[in-house]
């Protein structure tokens, strides 16, 4: 039987779960997994439901669920679990996160498609070639950012990209671009935010003498390093480790935190509510 | 508005969530939190729902939900969130877990009542006195186990005990006692099960030269150290630490793992399905 | 045979270890444990050596080691391992760290003496009484800080205090006091520094939507929350936890991080080198 | 100035550190890092010293240190830090650990040489080719084990292999082979030993309902899964994860635990003392 993932988001209130589960019954659905959250700060409600149904056409499922959606004025998605989301990866020179994503994708660990990798440097072309993934070298300077992003927008449309992953892409995206793709760009920052924002966080960590370093995956907003946090991880360090050693140790954390965040987005587990990200594990 | 926690367990199948949410609507309930799981091994379904309702009498809520219960032949509970479960703590000489539970209870961190502490030794009497909790010294030998457990049974009935916590109680309960209170006794074992079952696990760990030690909270069954696992924790150790040092480090893990398990049971988050424990975090 | 702990700190250079181990041989010492570090930033060297010697008088041991000390112009200590350091604990109203330290001390887990607890509130008096530790209520306002600290200085001298532990003491010490006891005051801050400095870190963490919260033990300097870091710990959290829940979860981390830092100071494992703390685990 | 790593192992007793540091002074050495341990169970002493010396010929350094070695009948090594150890990697079909080691090696994160990868399957040939590492397909059956191992022995000699890494090599080595290369073969076992020895540990973990899974790097002995433990790691799991999901999550732990163990061996940080491994971090 086909399996589907439904997400619902609307103003909180009674009857939402009941109405949607009624609609699911109408679609002969059996719920496999359900998670929901009512946020006290924003009074927003969000729900993720995984279900199976004998109906094989997702459009038909969507049609059946539509009245429930209308009742609550909900933002709504339903997706065949096997129809993987399409991810554009952006990278600069550091390739550890990129390799990690490619490997997991190829090993079947990550339920995504990767139609394209874009970089402002040529360095990672060979790595992508090994995995049979198209690679586009798209240089950018301060002066050409608008044009570069116009190309990017074209590629996102052309390839039907669902979300973008910045896998150590060291360029700042324009405010407009961030706004237009709000909630659809994931970045990995190589520190435990809100500590060590900005450049050279491992050097900052070394100088501050911290005893743990970390990494943070977050949704990208125009306000750099202030994006809503998806996942974080840390590793214990000590005084004998210099900034270079910290950066090597940190790569492990970056890889894992980013791949977890990508998986969650790929499985429709993330909901941006106010400035906080709800993650249904 | 009063808040309630409902648990449902039955054979898996379509319509369960819908039927119960319909009943909740009838009770003017608004769902705050909902978690569910269908176990592929046993084909059992379980659900925990936290909701608020203007109805102030839990018996009335229960009455409204009863038809849904009947429909699915479900095991069912509903509890006013403020009506804390009543816990009997059993202890021998080590008092670190007991103190931790008493402190958290007194600080309002753990939503339980502690009407009684029972021990086969007199050592922890003073500690309980400090916290104003009655303490019963109930010695036991191989020959008196049946009688001692008869007294225990009486105390459990008399004090309306919901579940029992073995906070480093170093006696083995009888097979019959374990069977009669299946799913209602939580033990802390001072190793990362299934490693180092039996006596002196820290000594075993030292001799084996492990690089992490742990603790395991589990439901008690007649088969010692084979009970279904609720929670586990570890801490990193090294070659320089002898068995005594390991046991001191391990106490921290024991405390935390046990108190987490007690909280989960107290909040109706545990479901014993087959030989595995479902925990809705 | 008596066991001693020696610490040495001086400008880095060849021959230090050799000269001190020669002196130890002269004292018929056998090294049990040795750790050393040469800091590339400051070119400072530090060493901690644990040894046994048939000489039972620590003054005699010190006398034998003195020429080596002179050779390198070293800062030097040697202490009989059984002569525990004397710790003054300061606390305000939150008692979880205080209880933890008292329990570990009484259980023989922490090699310290606690001659006195000082607080700006009366709340923790009863807890200290239970453990037989003198408690002094020493209120303070902005206007009386100088006088209060004068009393503190007197107590530190009178009780032969080796170091001070701020176990959730919610007052800021004066710049002069911090300077005079530099390297001898340990504080626990309830965030993962440098994130969430200042007041109400759990509320800040909640609003920022972090996925891990932490605690930091640090040496106290006049620059609040900028003190050199000794130990850090974290715990994973999620969107459903409000600031109160975070603070309850954080208490566990605070307790553990602070007690680890106190142990390290008590065992002469900490060396403040520049603005970083070397910890020999 | 060249940097060297010296290891010393002998029966414990006074004067060892002093005698060796005297010899280091004679070699104009400056100690950068020193760690030592006296094992109470076996009364063995071991020491690792990292130092710099103006002498550029390691043989000359070795000659100067030789008298100290003789004095204590020590097992002794000294190595130019830049002369990387040579590692033979063995693999079967799972390639995640292999890729991880290759990547870290190529990125300069792991101070090793990899002259050869050997496998009983052809599957990983292409991966090795990408990294420019020779790959030998060396099939084995029960009946051909002796011959296969004879070839292996030849390769180890021919390529000057320092140690062997079993990166998910699913064949059992013969007792004789294990004995002949005692302390020089590192394996990764995909469970938190001593839990879940033997085959299919993730399936065992799933059925047992553990709440954490782990991986263990150990030295290989003839007694399968009983080898001395080098490193361990864990990750938290829950009831909803089946054995396949556990195995995917476990791969991350395997990769990290194995690469840490390889680094420690490569940096001469491991000492097998009795049945326990001393690791100088």
Each residue of C109-119: pLDDT tens digit?
A: 999 999 999 99
Question: Does B226 lie at the interface with C, CB-CB under 8 angstroms?
Answer: no
Q: What per-residue confidence (pLDDT) applies to D160?
A: 98
Is residue D280 within 8 Å of residue C281, measured between CB atoms?
A: no
Residue from A74, A67, A101 nearest A262 by CA: A101
Provide the pLDDT confidence category of residue B222 given band limits of 50, 70 and 90. Answer: confident
Helix A96-106 vs helix A243-266: angle between axes, to the nearest 10 degrees? 40
Across the range C152-165, mean pLDDT stands at 98
Asked if residue B47 has pLDDT above 90, the reply is yes
The residue from B225, B242, B252, B268 that is catalytic is B225
C193 vs A195: CB contact, 8 Å cut-off?
Answer: yes
- For residues B125-136, give the mean pLDDT: 97
Q: For residue D31, what pLDDT is reported? A: 86
How would you class A56 by CB atoms within 10 Å of its CB: exposed for 0-12, middle for 13-18, buried for 19 or more?
exposed
Nearest Cβ partner of B17 from A13, A28, A31? A31
Give the gyration radius of chain C's Cα atoms. Answer: 20
Collect all residues with Cβ–Cβ distance below 8 Å to D228 and sequence separation of at least 6: B209, D218, D219, D221, D272, D275, D276, D277
Tokens of B143: 């020959």
Partners of residue C219 on adjacent β-strands: C186
User: Has residue B86 got a pLDDT over 90?
Assistant: yes
Q: Tell me the chain B residues in contact with residue A36 when contact means C-beta distances shorter than 8 Å.
A: 31, 33-34
pLDDT at D225: 81
B232 reaches D (C-beta below 8 A):
yes
* Optimal mutation site among D8, D15, D18, D48, interface C, most CBs of chain C within 10 A: D18
Closest partner residue to D103 among A99, A107, A109, by Cβ? A99
| Distance in angstroms (rounded) separating the CA atoms of residues D188 and B37 | 33
Choice among A78-82, B221-225, D260-264 with the minimum mean pLDDT = B221-225
pLDDT at C53: 95
Confidence of residue B13 (pLDDT cuts 50, 70, 90): confident
Q: Where are the domains of chain A?
A: 3-80, 85-279
Q: What is the pLDDT of residues D128-174, one digit of tens each?
A: 999 999 999 999 999 999 999 999 999 999 999 999 999 999 999 99
CA–CA gap between residue D36 and residue B194 (Å, rounded): 33
Q: Quick check: D254 and D96 in contact, CB under 8 A? A: yes
For chain B, state the CA radius of gyration: 20
Contact flag D38-C17 (C-beta cutoff 8 Å):
no
Would you call C121 an interface residue with chain A, using a CB distance cutoff of 8 Å? no
Please check whether residue D188 is in contact with residue D227, taking contact to mean a CB–CB distance below 8 angstroms: no
B225 pLDDT above the threshold of 90: no
Tens digit of pLDDT for each residue in C1-38? Answer: 999 999 999 999 888 988 998 899 899 998 888 889 98
Which chain B residues are closer than 8 Å to D39 by Cβ? 239
A119-148 pLDDT, tens digit per residue, is 999 999 999 999 999 999 999 999 999 999
A54 touches B at CB < 8 Å:
no
β-partners of residue C186 are C165, C219
Q: Which range is least confidently modeled, A31-45, B41-55, B159-173? A: A31-45
Of A78, A24, A66, the residue nearest B22 (C-alpha) = A24
Tell me if residue A68 falls in helix, strand or coil.
helix
Judge: domain D3-80, CATH 3.30.420.40. no
In this model, does residue A225 exceed pLDDT 90? Answer: no
Angle between helices B96-106 and C96-106 (to 10 degrees): 160
Axis crossing angle, helix D96-106 with helix A96-106, rounded to the nearest 10: 160
Q: Of C128-137, D17-26, D242-251, which range is least confident?
A: D17-26
Give yes or no: D252 in active site.
Answer: no
ipTM: 0.93
The pLDDT of residue B82 is 95
Q: Which residue of D has its CA nearest to B35?
A: D240
* Model pLDDT, residue D18: 86
**Mean pLDDT over residues B29-47, rounded?**
90
pLDDT digits (tens, 9 = 90+) for A5-41: 999 999 998 889 889 989 998 999 988 888 899 898 8
Q: What Å distances lie between residue D258 and C176, D94, D126, D183, CA to CA?
A: 50, 14, 22, 15
> Quick check: D196 and B196 CB within 8 A?
no
The predicted-structure confidence for D43-78, as pLDDT tens digits, reads as follows 999 999 999 999 999 999 999 999 999 999 999 999
Would you place residue C106 in the very low, low, confident or very high pLDDT band (cuts 50, 70, 90)?
A: very high
Within chain C, strands assigned E span 3-11, 30-38, 44-52, 75-80, 85-91, 112-119, 135-137, 163-166, 185-189, 212-219, 229-236, 270-273, 276-279
For chains C and D, what is the number of CB pairs under 8 angstroms? 52
Q: What is the DSSP letter of C142?
A: G
- Residue of A211, A235, A245 to mutate, testing the C interface (most C Cβ within 10 Å of its Cβ): A211
Give the three-class secondary structure for B11. strand
User: Using an 8 Å Cβ cutoff, are C160 and C84 in contact?
Assistant: no
Q: How far is CA B220 from CA A274, B149, D67, in A?
A: 44, 15, 61
The DSSP H or E segment spanning B164 is strand B163-166
C39, C162, C225, C252: the catalytic one is C225
Of D12, D39, D162, D225, the active-site residue reads D225
How far is Cα C125 from Cα D205, in angstroms, rounded to an integer?
Answer: 48
User: Scanning every residue of chain B, which has its alpha carbon at the shortest distance from the alpha carbon of C99?
Assistant: B103
What's the 3-state SS for chain D? CCEEEEEEEEECCCCHHHHHHHHHHHCCCEEEEEEEEECCCCCEEEEEEEEECCCCCHHHHHHHHHHHHHHHCCEEEEEECCCCEEEEEEECCCCHHHHHHHHHHHCCCCCEEEEEEEECCCCCHHHHHHCCCCEEECCCCHHHHHHHHHHHHHHHHHCCCCEEEECCCCCCCCHHHHHHCCCCEEEEECCCCCCCCCCCHHHHHHHHCCCEEEEEEEECCCCCCCCCEEEEEEEECCCCCCHHHHHHHHHHHHHHHHHHHHHHHHCCCEEEECCEEEECC
Quick one: tokens of D91?
């693999």
Average pLDDT of every residue of chain B: 95
Q: How far is Cα of residue C210 from the mean position of the Cα atoms in its chain?
A: 28
The per-residue pLDDT for C5 is 98
Closest CA to A195 of A216, A167, A180: A216
Q: A109 and chain D: CB distance < 8 Å anywhere?
A: yes
pLDDT tens digit sequence for D192-208: 999 999 889 999 999 99
Task: Please state the length of chain D.
Answer: 281
pLDDT average, residue stretch C54-72 = 96
CB distance D258 to D240 below 8 Å: no
Closest-CA residue of chain B to D38: B240
Q: What is the pLDDT of residues A142-160, one digit of tens each?
A: 999 999 999 999 999 999 9
pLDDT tens digits, D22-38: 899 899 998 888 889 98
**A149/A243 Cα distance (integer angstroms):** 33
Q: Compute the 3-state secondary structure of chain A and give helix, strand, coil in percent, each to the nearest 5.
A: 35, 30, 35
Catalytic residues of A: 225
Residues of chain A with C-beta less than 8 angstroms from the C-beta of D109: 248, 251
Positive or negative: CA dihedral B222, B228, B231, B237: positive
What does the buried/exposed string (b/e) look like for B195-230 if buried means 16 or more CB atoms within 10 Å of the residue's CB? bbbeeebbebbbebbbbbbbbbbbbbbeeebebbbb
Is some CB atom of chain B closer than 8 A to the CB atom of C99?
yes
How many Cβ pairs closer than 8 A exist between chain A and B? 50
Kindly list the residues from chain D whose CB atom is less than 8 angstroms away from the CB atom of residue C22.
18, 22
Least confident of A67-71, B150-154, B193-197, C276-280: B193-197
Mutation target to probe the B interface, by most B beta carbons within 10 A, among A3, A12, A21, A22 is A21
Q: Does B198 touch chain D (CB under 8 A)?
A: no
Residue D238 in contact with residue B216, Cβ under 8 Å?
no
Does residue B192 sit at the D interface (CB-CB below 8 Å)? yes
3-state secondary structure of B80: strand
Q: Which pLDDT tens digit goes with each residue over B200-221?
A: 999 999 999 999 999 999 999 9
For chain C, which chains pass the contact test of at least 3 CB pairs under 8 Å? Answer: A, B, D
Is 3.40.50.170 the CATH number for A85-279?
Answer: yes
Residue B278 φ then ψ, to 5°: -85, 130
- The Cα of A244 is separated from the nearest Cα of chain C by a number of Å equal to 14
The CA distances from residue B94 to B127, B251, C98, in Å, are 12, 10, 20
Q: What is the pLDDT of residues D96-107, one digit of tens each?
A: 999 999 999 999
Query: Confidence class of residue D15 from pLDDT cuts 50, 70 and 90?
Result: confident
Structure-token pair, residue A17: 């779960």
Flag if D210 and B230 touch (Cβ within 8 Å): no
């Amino acid at each position: 039987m086909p399996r589907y993932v439904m997400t619902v988001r609307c103003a909180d209130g009674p009857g939402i779960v009941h109405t949607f589960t009624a609609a699911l019954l109408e679609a002969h659905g059996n719920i496999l997994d359900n998670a929901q959250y009512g946020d006290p700060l924003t009074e927003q409600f969000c729900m993720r439901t995984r279900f199976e149904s004998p109906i094989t056409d997702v459009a038909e499922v969507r049609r059946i669920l539509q009245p429930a959606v209308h009742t609550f004025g909900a933002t709504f998605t339903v997706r065949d679990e096997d129809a993987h989301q399409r991810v554009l990866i952006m990278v600069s020179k550091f390739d550890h996160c990129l390799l990690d994503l490619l490997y997991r994708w190829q090993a079947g660990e990550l339920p995504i498609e990767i139609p394209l990798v874009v970089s402002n440097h040529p360095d990672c072309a060979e790595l992508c070639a090994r995995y049979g993934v198209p690679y586009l070298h798209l240089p950018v300077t301060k002066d050409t950012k608008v044009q570069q992003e116009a190309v990017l927008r074209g590629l996102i449309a052309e390839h039907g990209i669902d979300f973008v992953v910045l896998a150590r892409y060291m360029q700042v995206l324009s405010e407009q671009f961030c706004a237009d793709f709000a909630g659809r760009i994931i970045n990995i920052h190589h520190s435990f935010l809100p500590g060590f924002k900005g450049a050279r966080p491992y050097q900052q960590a070394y100088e501050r003498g911290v005893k743990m370093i970390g990494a943070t995956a977050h949704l990208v907003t125009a306000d750099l390093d202030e994006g809503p946090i998806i996942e974080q991880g840390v590793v214990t360090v000590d005084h004998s480790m210099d900034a270079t050693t910290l950066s090597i140790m940190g790569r492990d954390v970056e890889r894992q935190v980013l791949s977890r965040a990508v998986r969650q987005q790929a499985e429709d587990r993330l909901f941006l509510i106010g400035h906080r990200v709800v993650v249904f594990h």
